[in-house]
Amino acid sequence: MALCSLRFLTLLLLFSAVPIGIIVTLERAEPATHVYHYQSSGWFRECSKWDSGHRRFLISLFEGGLAQAKVPENDPHPSSPLEEVTVVKEPHLAGNASLGIAIDHPRNRVLVVNADVIGNRYGALAAYDLSTWNRLFLTQLTGPSDEKSFADDVAVDAEGNAYVTDVRGSKIWKVGVEGKLLSIIRNPLFTPKEWYKNLVGLNGIVYHPDGFLIVIHTFSGNLLKIDLTKGEEVKAIKVKGGTLCFGDGLELLSPTKLVVAGNPSARLVESSDGWNTGSVVGTFLGPMHRLATAATVKDGKVYLNHMVGMGYPKKKHAIVEAVF
Ligand SMILES: *[C@@H]1O[C@H](CO)[C@@H](O)[C@H](O)[C@H]1NC(C)=O
């Protein structure tokens, strides 16, 4: 998911209130799990996803664009940092951030959400070929004359339709396989009654192979199921065993296990009834000062993207294995 106002506030708090010494201590602490570091040109990275077919992480650039960080085949846990190499830059979108990404493996392409983070006046979904980086489509979702919105994260269904969450307006844009904006999904369950809970709304989203979407509403922690086989019927998933408040990016570890990145770094939710109900069965605490924003699965293991890079002149980012 994205850098929402919460993140800005959190970042401000971190950089103004937390003594640098504490961050240095946290940075120097020996990580408890495996970490992929990569050298980067930017401070903020909202999302990274493992592209198994090409043995690389795909990384969305907060300053706009897409990069890759390759993991050497003969050295799967290299001791030196990976290198972030920009593969897509759209001059037309300058000023917008690139946020959520989803890899559409059957079609060998990646979908990338772009948004005007500050003004909330523009949002678009782009698709690129994973072998050539040719742009397949660039679809505007919202513009200056529409209600303010913040396109944030994306999931893709079996037919190649994409679903993009609006974290500000709590709605979902549906974009067809060829890039046509098909509809906007709205539902009263997307908007909790308390106004302040809607400051950061619909965020991480995944497609489940049984034909439904799971989406999280960040400030309420509500987890919702949108059944595409039943005319986009929306139901709240009853979650026991803990709250999912501040949940951000989502990823399915298996059809019955969902990873919720955010704060704390990640929670694991399990369901045994097709996601009518679920239970929080595990929590992982990683480098909290770097802010976990997205999860991905690499060779059966969960890795967390972190928003904030550290170091000078090259910033070092961390993709951290989460063990529950
Ligand atoms: C985002 O891109 C659109 C499309 O080119 C552009 O009109 C808009 O000004 C950009 N937003 C910002 C904040 O620069």
Window from 22-26, 242-246, 302-306 with minimum mean pLDDT: 22-26
Q: Which atom of ligand 1 is nearest to the CA of 92?
A: 5
Q: What is the pLDDT of residue 2?
A: 36
Mutation to probe ligand 1, out of 62, 113, 116 (largest number of atoms < 8 A from CB): 116
Does 196 score more than 80 pLDDT?
no
Residue 119 in contact with ligand 1 by CB distance below 6 A? yes
Average pLDDT over residues 103-130: 97
Are 147 and 133 in contact, with CB atoms under 8 Å apart? no
pLDDT of residue 195: 79
Mean pLDDT over all residues of the chain? Answer: 92
Ligand 1 atom 9 nearest Cα: 95
Domains in the chain with CATH codes: 5-32+45-55+93-303 (2.120.10.30)
For the cut 50, the answer to whether the pLDDT of residue 150 exceeds it is yes
Reported confidence tier of residue 6, pLDDT bands at 50, 70, 90 = low
Q: Residue 16: is its pLDDT beyond 70?
A: no
Lowest mean pLDDT among 22-31, 161-170, 178-187, 247-256: 22-31
* CB under 8 A, 24+ apart: contacts of 28-31: 31/286, 31/287, 31/320
The answer, yes or no, to whether any atom of ligand 1 lies below 6 A from the CB of 95, is yes
Report the pLDDT value the prediction gives residue 15, as an integer from 0 to 100.
58
Name the closest-CA residue to atom 12, ligand 1. Answer: 95
- Smallest CA separation from ligand 1 atom 3, residue: 93
122 lines ligand 1 (CB under 6 A): yes
96 lines ligand 1 (CB under 6 A): yes
Instruction: Look at strands 277-284 and 233-240 and give their pairing.
Output: parallel
Q: What is the pTM of this model?
A: 0.93
Looking at ligand 1, which residue's alpha carbon is closest to its atom 4?
93
